[in-house]
A and B are shown apart, each in its own frame.
Chain A
Amino acid sequence: MRLLRTELSRFFARRFIRVLLIFIVLIMGAVVAGVAGSSSPVTEEQYAAAQEAAQRDYELNKQMMDQAYQDCVTDVTSPSPSGNWGEGLEACAAILEKARYISPNDPSGYLPDQFHLRHELDTWIYLAALILCLFGFIVGASFVGAEWTSGGMTNLALWYPRRLRLLAMKLTAAVLGIGAIGVAYLGVWVGSLALVAQARGVVDGATPGFWQSSLLLCARVLALTLACAVIGFALASLGRHTASALGIGIGYALVAELGTLLVFSVLNATFPERFRLSTYIAAWLTKRVELYDYNLCLMDAVDCGNQRYIIDLTTSAVVLGGIVAIIAALAFAAFRRRDIA
């Protein structure tokens, strides 16, 4: 536990982590300010004006349709119909039929833009997930990578010869540190957006069920952040350099994510997206991803709805957890066997 406490002190004392933390807090500030700036509170006058405008447009549309019907009847009953309306009075009846569906407009479409918490919070939490995952990956990689490049790992190994325990404590410190930052970040992120919605947007529909669902989404974001942190940590430990993890991460994004899609498309594999990690990440966040094979639909002229590949929460958890476990196991095995330089 002494080692863990020390590693936690080292984690929060590192300047790189502090700078990165300031950076992501600034991003959060910019996002919240942007949402607040683009959302305006609605006055009673604005709402009344919106209702009036909606009613006006409704009546205008209705008048236009009535006029069109009259023009149609006049034309088709004339001695020399133009043919623009179709054949006979049946064509004009179709206009009447369409006119039946004209309904008064929703005044919300006439109001200034407003941040709607229930409808939009998930989207903003996905953005927080992207930021936190990158943060976790880079910080996880740097926390061990800097030890390798600075020679600090030699120092540590001289003090703690139980190598697996040493790396495990270091990883635990990174996970706890990043986890604590992740919890605080998500809390402030969601709390700020809720306040913005309260002050300048719409909070209708923010039921206890909605908050429970949002909380679970935040928990999944946190788990994903920690998974990214473990992967970054493990890759940097395997490569003995922070840059090796970043290189593999960028290389994977450029080559594997696009490459697998291209290769499996060329090979005519069905549902090529199922070979991409990003698909499972999306499924983890949204609880379910459905992949459609549009080629199959076109060729067989069948219902696309039946030709789909479903990735649910369990599947994505197994795949993502398996990848994290394999990379971490490789890092620990290498650390146990290899010379520490």
Chain B
Amino acid sequence: MTSLVIAEHDNASIKGATLNTVTAAAACGGDVHVLVAGHNASAAAAAAAQIAGVAKVIHADSETLAHGLAENVAAQVLAIAGNYSHILFPATAGGKNVAPRVAAKLDVAQISDITKVDSADTFERPIYAGNAIATVQSTDATKVITVRTTGFDAAAATGGAAAVESAAAQADSGKSSFKGSEIAKNDRPELTAAKIIVSGGRALGSSEKFNEVMTPLADKLGAAIGASRAAVDAGYAANDLQVGQTGKIVAPQLYVACGISGAIQHLAGMKDSKVIVAINKDPEAPIFSVADFGLEADLFAAVPELTNAL
């Protein structure tokens, strides 16, 4: 029994989500191999070989794998899928995109977003925006899984010494091509890996106010910035900042919710945070029901005051 983890990487380095996925793979039992499919990705493959607990790294390199196109990455996974009992992807935008393609081609069900491994074929996963936890058993020979990274500790990024094996790249599907991307550049920690997140809601009222109020607090705390769906829908914050059922699932040490009412779908994305602070002027806001420390106040006064007090 051997598990294959599909690495999340940017060709130069391994993304943190890969480390949590390695931990989930190890919990399934047996050896853990990691596939790094990319372009000029030797550095990422070398980094994967350092991850504690990884027995082998398979490195496929081709221009056709440069942008993680689902058709090409899935073909790369399928070329070696027969060797594995478990194939695990981090439940990131990239992993969610590719995993079901692999499962369908193998004619097996996929188990999405697992938060716990009970045994080699039994897993726990949240359903209904985390309002229920299902324990599910797969009857298929190969388990194709996406891993909710907040459910598993990160494996140590160093300490391993796995061999790196090259694999031939599969042919381009010819049906999909990458045209470009707009990736927000900033020096903040990545939202899903941040120890502290400050998150703003619709109450901020505009994107100018959002930046004016939230950015200094984030700077002071060295925090990542998140947003509620309402704030993103209203255009106050970029889509990739959305925390919630259909956005990012986060579990930082400290989550500071400012002007966020606490809709079910938002709570689904952050209620596993260690400490939650809510600042809201509505005493009835549902966010207070999950907050360790609630401050009933106008955020336009309280957040700057908090920033200054830190």
A joins B in a complex: no
Question: Which residue numbers of A lie inside 8 Å of B, CB to CB?
Answer: none
